[in-house]
Chain A
Amino acid sequence: MNQFHRNTLIFGLVAILLMPWYRVDGNFWTFQWLAFNFFLIEESAPLISQLFHLEKYWLILPLVPFVLYTFDYMASTKFSDSIKQQGLLNRQLYYGLAGLSFTLIQAFLVGDFGVNFDWLVSLLPEDSYQFGAGAGTLLLVISFLFMIANGLAYRGFMKGDIFATSCLILIIFLVVVFVAFPVLNILIRAFLIEDAGYSFQAFFDRFAIVNLWGLDCGPNASSICGVAWSTLFLAIMTGISTTLLGLAFALIVTRTNFIGKKFLSFFSILPMITPPFVVGMALILLLGASGTFTEWLNAFFEVELGGWIYGFWGLWLAQTLSYTPIAFLVLIGVVEGVSPSMEEASQTLGASPTKTFFTISLPLMRPGLANAFLLGFIESMADLGNALVLGGDYQVLSAQIFFAIAGASADDGKAATLAIVLLIFTLTTFFIQKRWVGKTNYTTVTGKGDGGSYGPLPKLVKFLSLGTALPWVAFTFTVYVMILLGGFVETWGVDNSFSLTHYAEAFRIEFVNNSMMASGVAWDSLFTTLLLAIIAMPLTSFLGLLTGYLLSRVDFPGKAYFEFGTMLSFAIPGIVIGVSYVIAFNQAPIDLTYTGMIIVLCFVFRNMSVGVRSGIASLSQLDKGLDEASITLGATGFTTLRRIIFPLIKQAIVSSMIYSFIRSITSVSAVIFLVSADYNLSSAYIIGLVESNRFGVAIAYATALIVIMSVAILLMKLLIGDRKVFLRAQK
Chain B
Amino acid sequence: MSQNSSVIFKNVVKAFGDTQVVKSINFQVDSGKLVTLLGPSGCGKTTTLRMIAGLELPTSGEIYISGKDVSKVSASGRNVGMVFQSYALFPHMTVLQNVCYGLSNHKSKKLEMLEKAEKALATVGLSHLKERFPSELSGGQQQRVAIARSIVIQPDVLLFDEPLSNLDAKLRRQVRQDIRDLQQEIGVTAIYVTHDQEEALAISDDIIVMNDGNISQIGSPENLYKRPTNAFVAQFIGDANKLTGELVKDENDSLFKIAEQSIFAYQGNKPAGKYDVFIRPNALKFVSTESTSDICFPVTVKKSVYLGSHTEYQLSTSWGESLFMIDYSFDEPLANQSEAFVSIDARGVSIV
Contact = CB atoms under 8 A, between A and B. Distances in A.
Contact of B88 (A155, A623, A725): A623
B133 interface: yes
B81 interface: yes
Contact of B102 (A156, A625, A633, A647): A633
Contact of B101 (A154, A155, A630): A630
B135 A726 contact: yes
Interface in B34-71: 53-57, 71
A727 B92 contact: no
Interface in A634-650: 634-637, 639, 643-644, 647-648
Interface in B279-311: none
B57 A629 contact: no
A159 B57 contact: yes
A632 interface: yes
Interface string A178-199: 0000000000000000000000
Given A156-B72, A160-B73, A726-B133, A632 B86 contact: no
Contacts of B57: 156, 159-160
A277 B54 CA distance: 54
B13 to A, nearest CB: 13
Contacts, number: 100
Nearest to A724: B92
Interface residues of A, number: 31
A633 B81 CA distance: 7
Interface string A697-716: 00000000000000000000
A633 B88 CA distance: 12
A634 B92 contact: no
Secondary structure class of chain A's binding surface, majority of residues = helix
B101 A628 contact: no
Given A160-B73, A629-B82, A636-B76, A727 B133 contact: yes
Secondary structure class of chain B's binding surface, majority of residues = loop
Interface in B104-148: 105-106, 131-136
Contacts of B75: 159, 628, 631-632
Contacts of A524: none
B150 to A, nearest CB: 8
A654 to B, nearest CB: 16
A724 B55 CA distance: 30
Contact of A634 (B73, B88, B102): B102
Given A647-B92, A724-B92, A635 B76 contact: yes
A156 B69 CA distance: 13
Given A159-B57, A628-B84, A726-B133, A633 B72 contact: no
A161 interface: yes
B86 A623 contact: yes
Interface string A25-67: 0000000000000000000000000000000000000000000
A625 to B, nearest CB: 3
Contacts of B133: 726-728
A410 interface: no
A644 B86 contact: no
Contacts of B53: 628, 632
Nearest to A155: B72
Contact of A625 (B54, B73, B86): B86
Contact of A159 (B54, B87, B131, B149): B54
Contacts of B71: 156
B67 to A, nearest CB: 14
A193 to B, nearest CB: 48
Contacts of B54: 159-160, 631-632
A390 to B, nearest CB: 49
B74 A160 contact: yes
Given A156-B72, A160-B57, A633-B149, A639 B92 contact: no
A726 B131 CA distance: 12
A375 B241 CA distance: 61
B72 A154 contact: yes
A625 B73 CA distance: 19
B230 interface: no
Contacts of A639: 105
B81 A632 contact: yes
Contacts of B56: 159
Contact of B80 (A154, A162, A632, A643): A632
Nearest to A644: B90
16 contacts: A160-B72, A160-B73, A625-B84, A625-B87, A626-B90, A628-B53, A630-B101, A632-B150, A633-B81, A633-B105, A633-B153, A635-B101, A636-B76, A636-B105, A644-B90, A726-B133
For the complex of A and B, 10 pairs with smallest distance between CB atoms: A625-B88, A633-B102, A160-B74, A629-B88, A634-B105, A631-B75, A625-B84, A726-B133, A156-B72, A632-B82
Interface of A: 153-156, 159-162, 623, 625-626, 628-637, 639, 643-644, 647-648, 724-728
Interface of B: 53-57, 71-82, 84-92, 101-102, 105-106, 131-136, 149-150, 153, 159
